[in-house]
Amino acid sequence: MAIVKPSRQTTMWSTPSTAPAETQRLAATLAARRTALAHALDGLAAEVGLLGEVAHCLLATLRAGRKLLVAGNGGSAAEAQHFAAELVGRFQRERRPYAAIALTADTATLTAVANDYGYAEVFARQVRALGQPGDLLLAFSTSGESENVVRAALAARSLGMHVVAITGARESRLGAVADLVVRVAANDPAVTQELHLVLTHALCDCVEAALAAELA
């Protein structure tokens, strides 16, 4: 089959001979992001002891046959589903699935609760329905101030669950009610969310490696 390349006249996005403003902006954005991520990663490396405590909490929960509930809004909702998917599916190793539920994934429940009780209750009500003593709530929040996530953490504590919060740089209401809080050293919400992805992969790798080794 012959592949015919469109002529320059018929290509809507023909590249001009000089770098357009978009290219310059992307170059500047990537350079700034490299600097911001390097600074934030240095901050995480300095908190490796705290990250070890979070990993230990995750491991203790799963070793005890308990489950992980994960929550967040917007980009943090996507991260909650990502975290749960890595544990139920797999990250890098073949092993048994681990019990993890993203409270952001069931649109029927989310919209029913929001409609009947208000958006502030969408996670807390699920926590009260699904949570048991010894389970763990992992809460992602860039600001640490999302009312529905804070209420979920309070509901979890009332049930005898453990709470781990992963937030942005500042102190927050969510961090105040969590057993452990990881505050990412970034002021830009986009950088914060990118570091939350790094934490997701790092923690899932640690948990998976430890549990898979026990079953080997």
Q: Which residues contact 98 (CB under 8 A, 6 or more apart)?
A: 62, 68, 87, 88, 207, 211
Q: Which residues contact 106 (CB under 8 A, 6 or more apart)?
A: 126
Three-point CA angle 9, 10, 13, nearest 5°:
90
Closest CA to 109 of 82, 69, 144, 147: 69
How does pLDDT run along the chain (216 residues), one tens digit per residue?
A: 566 665 555 555 565 555 688 899 999 999 999 999 999 899 889 999 999 999 999 999 999 999 999 999 999 999 999 999 999 999 988 888 999 999 999 999 999 999 999 999 999 999 999 999 999 999 999 999 999 999 999 999 999 999 999 999 999 999 999 999 999 988 889 999 999 999 999 999 999 999 888 765
Tell me the C-alpha distance between 8 and 31, whole Å: 31
Give domain limits for the chain.
29-215
Classify strands 180-183 and 68-71 as parallel, antiparallel or unpaired: unpaired
Tokens of 199: 């934490």
Classify domain 29-215 by CATH number.
3.40.50.10490
